[in-house]
């Protein structure tokens, strides 16, 4: 009887673990960077394939740069790749991922250090 209960408990735990899904950061995000000099706003478009994240970020849809990163549990590390002759507000950032919001810190680039917030555009 004890073996049967242990087996059923193990199967229940495995089925619950199977339903836990990794965060999905794909989509369009409103971005706000805050530094000592003020705030910068923009947009990001992200696509996710497993733990790899790619996309673009910029002050507007027609002024974007490539961005790539890796999602590990609830942390997303991103790096910008400006085109020749262009700069980026930041070089790298690390975000804590939530369903509709990601927050973290930035380093490098034009503004040095600061905080960054991504807020997901509402899905239709």
Residue entry with tokens 């927050």: 103
**pTM score, two decimals?**
0.79
Per-domain boundaries in the chain: 23-120
Identify the burial level of 60 via C-beta atoms within 10 angstroms of its C-beta, where 0-12 means exposed, 13-18 middle and 19 or more buried: exposed
What value does the mean pLDDT take over residues 3-21? 45
Q: Is CATH 3.30.70.120 the classification given to domain 23-120?
A: no
pLDDT tens-digit series, residues 53-108: 999 999 988 889 999 999 999 999 999 999 888 889 999 999 999 989 999 999 99
């Amino acid at each position: 009887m004890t073996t049967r209960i242990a087996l059923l408990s193990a199967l229940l735990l495995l089925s619950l673990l199977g339903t836990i899904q990794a965060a999905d950061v794909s989509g369009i995000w409103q971005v706000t960077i805050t530094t000592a000099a003020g705030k910068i706003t923009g947009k990001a478009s992200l696509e996710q394939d497993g733990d790899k994240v790619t996309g673009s970020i910029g002050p507007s849809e027609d002024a974007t740069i490539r961005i790539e990163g890796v999602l590990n549990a609830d942390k997303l590390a991103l790096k910008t790749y400006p085109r020749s002759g262009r700069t980026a507000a930041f070089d790298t950032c690390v975000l804590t991922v939530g369903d509709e919001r990601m927050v973290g810190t930035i380093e490098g680039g034009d503004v040095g250090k600061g905080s960054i917030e991504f807020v997901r555009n509402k899905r239709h």
